[in-house]
Chains A and B, each alone.
Chain A
Amino acid sequence: DAGVTQSPTHLIKTRGQHVTLRCSPISGHKSVSWYQQVLGQGPQFIFQYYEKEERGRGNFPDRFSARQFPNYSSELNVNALLLGDSALYLCASSPGDLPGEQYFGPGTRLTVT
């Protein structure tokens, strides 16, 4: 079975621009979570969606938003990019609404210049 997929793999953007990252969960998984990981730190929780509803939100500004589609895939949008948004963005899926037993995708490396 295919694992979690994310696109694009790498992305370079300029300060002030907007970015959309995409994620497809493991087949049968209904929950998707998004994380930001900067070098040397653990992943920081951004959002969790289950059955197209937001179930959790981390301590990130309103520039960050997300949504989940009927096929359970998800998008993470970041507006007005800052240099500090440069990071690895990870998507994780889990079968139920509790996010613990999560399986991560390969991530999207975002560089903001």
Chain B
Amino acid sequence: QKEVEQNSGPLSVPEGAIASLNCTYSDRGSQSFFWYRQYSGKSPELIMFIYSNGDKEDGRFTAQLNKASQYVSLLIRDSQPSDSATYLCAVRNDMRFGAGTRLTVKP
């Protein structure tokens, strides 16, 4: 059974801090990884995708991929209350999503 695992949280960080969200996957053949943000009652919104080992930065967001250890993470720098949402990790091969991590950023 191919799995994508995320800590359900909630993860709470103060405003301005770095939020670190982690995701592990079981299918070693997975090639592409995606992070989505989902506000309560809304549909998922694509934040970042990463295909290669290492870091990929986009504004306040950094995705990190380690295929040998089978994990992908998302760092959010200078967290804002507007970042409070559920963050979903997805693996392309069979478009399997994790259950999501709920992030709360406290002012």
- Residues of A near any B CB (own CB < 8 A): 33, 35, 40-45, 48, 56, 58, 88, 90, 98-107
Q: Would you give 20 A-B contacts (Cβ < 8 Å), ordered by A?
A: A33-B95, A35-B97, A41-B99, A41-B100, A42-B97, A42-B98, A44-B97, A45-B97, A56-B95, A58-B94, A98-B32, A99-B92, A100-B34, A100-B90, A101-B49, A102-B34, A104-B36, A104-B46, A106-B43, A107-B43
* Bound-state Cα–Cα, A35 to B36, Å: 14
Contact B34 A45 (CB under 8 A): no
Q: Tell me the dominant secondary structure on chain A's binding face.
A: loop
For A100, give its contact among B4, B42, B49, B88 (CB under 8 Å). B49
B43 / chain A contacts, CB cutoff of 8 Å: 88, 90, 104-107
7 nearest CB pairs, A to B: A42-B97, A100-B92, A104-B43, A45-B95, A100-B32, A107-B43, A43-B97
* Distance of A38 from chain B, by nearest CB (Å): 10
B75-107, CB under 8 A of A: which get 1 and which 0?
Answer: 000000000000010101011111110000000
Q: Is B54 an interface residue (CB 8 A)?
A: no
Number of interface residues of B (CB under 8 A): 20
* Distance of A89 from chain B, by nearest CB (Å): 10
B1-32, CB under 8 A of A: which get 1 and which 0?
Answer: 00010000000000000000000000000001
B55 / chain A contacts, CB cutoff of 8 Å: none
* Distance of A6 from chain B, by nearest CB (Å): 9
B95 / chain A contacts, CB cutoff of 8 Å: 33, 35, 45, 48, 56, 58, 99-100
* Bound-state Cα–Cα, A88 to B63, Å: 28
Contact B99 A42 (CB under 8 A): yes
* Bound-state Cα–Cα, A63 to B8, Å: 31
Residue of A90, A100, A106 most packed against chain B (CB within 10 A): A100
Residue of A nearest to B86 (CB): A42
Q: Is B57 an interface residue (CB 8 A)?
A: no
